[in-house]
Amino acid sequence: MSTPRLSVHLTNNRFVKVVEWKGDPRLDLREWHQEGKILKATKKGISLNLTQIKALIDILEEGIEDNRRKNQEFSWHLGANVFVSVRKDNPCIDVRLYWRPPQGKEVVPTKVGLCLRPDEYECLKDNITDIKSHLPELITVVPCYMRDDHQNQIGMLKCRNCNPDDYQNWENY
């Protein structure tokens, strides 16, 4: 992995980093651990692609505080089975990958992701401008839900990003 374009320390050993992975820009929300004087990435966290980053930024800029203050459940699909969610009676913001088990009808959470504590969420939100400035590629990203082929339900059902578990079987709906 190359040197990060941006590294924001959230708390403890948690960071948000704008990195390149195999030539593609990514946003890494990850926990790191100390080995001597070196910080090494752990498996605890998630890496988002440009479309997911754009959706996350849209959510953060719109603000989800109303849902948190009203103690409401909130879930937003970032694409490719990654969701941002707020649970009732929990002040944390969860950014997590979900999957649908074989013969399952609903997606369920995996271990891949990071639950941001309130102060970490605020730090992430406060650094959105820096994140956007280090990701100029975001200017050209159009979220799926704003694309011409998504102006009806069939477009969403055929999309690998919006409907990753069933995009090939969309006719069964």
Q: Supply the range of the domain harboring residue 168.
A: 142-173
Q: What is the average per-residue pLDDT within 23-28?
A: 95
CB 30 within 8 A of CB 113: no
The CA distance from 50 to 24, in Å, is 8
Number of domains in the chain: 2
d(CA 49, CA 118): 24
Q: Are residues 97 and 62 in the same domain?
A: yes
pTM of the model: 0.87
Task: Report the C-alpha gap between 143 and 35 in whole angstroms.
Answer: 39
Using a pLDDT cut of 70, give the percent of the chain over it: 88
Same domain? 83 vs 123: yes
C-beta separation of 86 from 64 below 8 A: yes
Q: How confident is the model at residue 86 (pLDDT cuts 50, 70, 90)?
A: confident
